[in-house]
Structure 1
Amino acid sequence: MPRNASRLGVRGWLASTAARAVGVLLRSLGRAGTTVPGRVLLALDPSALSRISIRLGAGTVLVSATNGKTTTAALAEAALSQSGLTVVHNSAGANMAGGIASALLHANPGPETLGLLEIDEFWLPELAPQLKPKAVLLGNLFRDQLDRYGELDAILDRWIEAAVQLAADGTHFVLCADDPGIAWLGLQLPAASVTWFGVEDTTLALKQLPHAADAGSCRRCGTPLVYSAVLLGHLGHWACPSCGLTRPTPTFALAGITLHGARFSSLRIASPSGTHSVELGVPGVYNAYNAVGAWALAATLGVPPDVVASAFGSAKASFGRAETFTISDREATLFLVKNPTGANEVIRALASEAEPLALQFLLNDGVADGRDVSWIWDADFEDIADQIEMVVCSGTRASEAALRFRYSGVPADRIATISEPRAGLAQLAKSRQESLWVLPTYTAMLELRSALADEGLVERVV
């Protein structure tokens, strides 16, 4: 038996060895192995998360949100790695128990090793106590997969209960002040345990709360909140006119933003160390939120601002989130969409494009997507209907997607229904447009990326 078996314990060593063997087998079969090895590990050793995470010398950090957690974690990972840390990160977005265990399975313990783990919002209260994080970033809570998660209030209540205990044990929280629910959570914690971030620049504010906005009432007294600026879904500058509850003042704030279509953005981020300019290789107000949150987290962990700025400037789009590839000599961009708020932000970015739009919309109804796809009727496709030259609808619910675009005002002769994702993309590539835009739900994105990886068009996730 290897020398490290005594340190891990016989059960832990056997579980880790078996799980790694499963990972090797899966990769030999061309599968990613981002979740199943972790499931095997936890089945054989239920205490594996605690056992492994405690051996990471620089601690463990968690990132959770409904939208944006993968991009936020990727930006934080870039900054933390550039600072000299060895970062263990579930970069493919496998963020439930199995995916997190799979990521930790390959960690090499050491004083400079840090676990940076994106974690599903439903799993956060269960897994966080096992991981004993030094810091937790919470970005937002939006309506998502109601058939699996339930209403927002139920998730928020579970988050608050877990956060109070974690803060008592020394965890520091990096929280979005612009989300009323996240702010309410932070106000239940000691002030010294919280760092706030948000958006101060209101030049891109929406005219009103979107019809699909989720959190409209004060958590303290139930009175409808009022907004002086609505920035993204229900995120913005809010206050309760009855009890006086109001948005906390951010320590780290987006002081300025310039959007360059659906391609990239220029940001100014204000922090206690000054205001810093960053060119971010992903578009949209939603990614600006991700960036300022990741900046606040990195700074809280001691990364100097010049290192964060350099890392952000060179960071690439993460797995399926404004990820680009070339097909038929055209640039195609993948934008994961999974709920009304996220879809509306992608639509908002696409609306700023000057050229007609060639789109593929891939709608699946797998467990990881949510069986209920009625959310597409709350996505504002009407805002880009006049710009669409071609839309190819694919996935297991392609016909529903086509119907949604027809009702949005897209002429029938501009809509094609091709259920198989790769065949649909081939049809899209016949468009005259130089830029192609691909909007998949989660399992559709995995299926399409797998096909593209087989052709060498995108990097395979291992």
Structure 2
Amino acid sequence: MSLRSGVATAVGKTSYWFLHTFMHGGSSLPGKLAARIDPEILKHLGQNYDVIVITGTNGKTLTTALTVRVLREKYDHVLTNPTGSNMEQGIVGTFLHAKRSRGQRPLAVLEVDEANVIKVTRYIKPIAFVFTNIFRDQMDRYGEIYTTYKKIIDGVRLAPEATIIANGDAQLFNSVDLPNPKIYYGFNHLPKGDMKAPTNTDGILCPKCQHVLHYHFMTYGNLGDYFCPNCGFHRPELNYAVTKLGAMTPTASTFDLDGESFKIGIGGLYNIYNALAAYAVGRFLNVEPAQIRQAFTSDERVFGRQEVVHVGDKDVTLILIKNPVGVNQVIDMILTEPEDFSFVGLLNANYADGIDTSWIWDGEFEKLGAAGTGENPKIKAFLTGGERYKDITFRLKVAGIDQPMIEPDLTKVTAKIKELPTKKVYVLATYTAVLQLRKQLASEGLIKEGMGA
């Protein structure tokens, strides 16, 4: 250890101790301070870990959480960043407060922002990368999906020996020739046909000849068993596949994976992809299927990902949204709810959310119908809020919801939730709105503090 890295580590750990002892945590300051003193601090902090990097547009946080649960069935020491603090300073902070391990070489399973992959691999050579998907997201930061993937690939090229564990149903992940060993996961649950993606779907041009891709079947977004009728480009052979879907509710999903039955305590087709990715990592590190099945039965909730919070007599499910594909999947998921419920939409437009809110117009809010009427009589009330409450309120109006309750001040949203007419409430919120709402919930003693980063 150099003198600089030693000082940086000491300063970072001291600031972490102070913040978590006296300020109840929730700051990226320790990582910022350490990286400012020693820009190469990750080289020192990560040198004794086998690192797995999980990146992509949607699903990083839940995939990371499920992967950690799976690996802890076999390994004693698994470090992670559980609150989605996936920028460089957050990753440095994760290593700073890690406990020393003895015996097994420890693992670090890190959720990493797409643009920060290169900031990790510049100093740490992972044993594996996990690619979840690439969808249009925060265009002010990433641009189009092709530039997003390039940011990831620029980082991967610095670690050519790391195994890539990729969603085989996403054509971008099969579009660039890389020397890395590859493992693909995906879906094989439907008979093969010949279809095209719906109008305005992103990422459906063949990367080899620019012809419109066809699909034997689709799951959602641009994902599915794709092929190009012009040049022959097609989905790679899958190493691990979902072969059957079972019961799907907002609180659970059952499915067969390579012929064996599994269940996760969270709803949504998109979350089965996350479980499939975690399964692939587990098998890569020799965790047995029975152990993985056991890990999936945990009912521990993940920050902002279908957390259930009790607010008065309400069961409030908190769900992060940030782009059209994600919100459409969440809408499909909550519409499987068998009981009456209320809908809350909270929209912010800070840097971490993406400052461009135009993406909400590609969300299929029309599926929600009018409160108490139309196609979805189970939705009894709507509430909107957040810094861009006018945008989300107008979007719902265009979708047929004329008069939602409105509360711009997120510190007062919990009081409004208590006034809603149903026991079940679904809150769809952007990232900083989730943080602000959770802070308010913590101040009321409804959740523990220190979960947000």
Residue in structure 1 matched with residue 66 of structure 2 by the alignment? 75
Q: Secondary structure at the match of 2:14?
A: helix
Q: Structure 2: how far apart are the matches of 1:241 and 1:196?
A: 22
Q: Which moved more, 1:380-389 or 1:157-166?
A: 157-166
Q: Which moved more, 1:222-231 or 1:29-38?
A: 29-38
Q: Structure 2: how far apart are the matches of 1:247 and 1:208?
A: 15
Cα drift, residue 34 of structure 1: 4.5
Q: Secondary structure at the match of 1:314?
A: coil
Q: Which of these residues, 123, 135, 142, is aligned with residue 135 of structure 2?
A: 142
Cα drift, residue 49 of structure 1: 0.8
Equivalent residue pairs, number: 441
Cα drift, residue 144 of structure 1: 0.5
Residue in structure 2 matched with residue 280 of structure 1 by the alignment? 264
User: Are residues 327 and 212 of structure 1, via their aligned partners in 2, closer, same or farther at CA, if it must alter by over 3 Å?
Assistant: farther
Q: Structure 2: how far apart are the matches of 1:411 and 1:211?
A: 27
Cα drift, residue 113 of structure 1: 1.3
Q: Structure 1: how far apart are the matches of 2:124 and 2:342?
A: 44
Residue in structure 2 matched with residue 339 of structure 1 by the alignment? 323
User: Are residues 212 and 298 of structure 1, via their aligned partners in 2, closer, same or farther at CA, if it must alter by over 3 Å?
Assistant: farther
Q: Which moved more, 1:46-55 or 1:286-295?
A: 46-55
Kindly, what percent of the aligned residue pairs are identical?
A: 31
User: Are residues 172 and 342 of structure 1, via their aligned partners in 2, closer, same or farther at CA, if it must alter by over 3 Å?
Assistant: same
Does the 8 Å CA contact 1:34/1:92 hold for their aligned counterparts? no
Q: Structure 1: how far apart are the matches of 2:310 and 2:12?
A: 35
Does residue 302 of the first structure (1) align with residue 286 of the second (2)?
A: yes
Does the 8 Å CA contact 1:143/1:339 hold for their aligned counterparts? yes
Q: Structure 2: how far apart are the matches of 1:307 and 1:436?
A: 34
Does the 8 Å CA contact 1:55/1:109 hold for their aligned counterparts? no
Residues 41-75 of structure 1: CA deviation (Å, up to 9, x unaligned): 1101111111111122xx11110010001000000
User: Are residues 314 and 398 of structure 1, via their aligned partners in 2, closer, same or farther at CA, if it must alter by over 3 Å?
Assistant: same
Cα drift, residue 315 of structure 1: 4.7
Q: Which of these residues, 209, 227, 240, is aligned with residue 228 of structure 2?
A: 240
Residue in structure 2 matched with residue 441 of structure 1 by the alignment? 430
Does residue 23 of the first structure (1) align with residue 16 of the second (2)?
A: yes
Q: Which of these residues, 206, 209, 226, is aligned with residue 218 of structure 1?
A: 206
Write out aligned runs for 1:222-371 (5 A): 222-270=210-258, 275-371=259-355
Q: Which amino acid aligns with 1:106?
A: H
User: Are residues 210 and 453 of structure 1, via their aligned partners in 2, closer, same or farther at CA, if it must alter by over 3 Å?
Assistant: farther
Q: Which amino acid aligns with 1:310?
A: Q
User: Are residues 182 and 306 of structure 1, via their aligned partners in 2, closer, same or farther at CA, if it must alter by over 3 Å?
Assistant: same
Residue in structure 1 matched with residue 168 of structure 2 by the alignment? 177
Residue in structure 2 matched with residue 42 of structure 1 by the alignment? 35
Residues 137-171 of structure 1: CA deviation (Å, up to 9, x unaligned): 0110111100111111112233334334422xx21
Task: List alignment gaps of at least 5 residues for structure 2.
Answer: 371-375
Residue in structure 2 matched with residue 390 of structure 1 by the alignment? 381
Q: Secondary structure at the match of 1:123?
A: helix
User: Are residues 42 and 359 of structure 1, via their aligned partners in 2, closer, same or farther at CA, if it must alter by over 3 Å?
Assistant: same
Normalising by structure 1, what TM-score? Answer: 0.91
Residues 372-427 of structure 1: CA deviation (Å, up to 9, x unaligned): 00111110010112433211111100111111111100132xx0110122422321
Q: Which amino acid aligns with 1:438?
A: V
Q: Secondary structure at the match of 1:392?
A: strand
User: Are residues 175 and 425 of structure 1, via their aligned partners in 2, closer, same or farther at CA, if it must alter by over 3 Å?
Assistant: same
Q: Which amino acid aligns with 2:235?
A: R
User: Are residues 29 and 341 of structure 1, via their aligned partners in 2, closer, same or farther at CA, if it must alter by over 3 Å?
Assistant: farther
Normalising by structure 2, what TM-score? Answer: 0.93
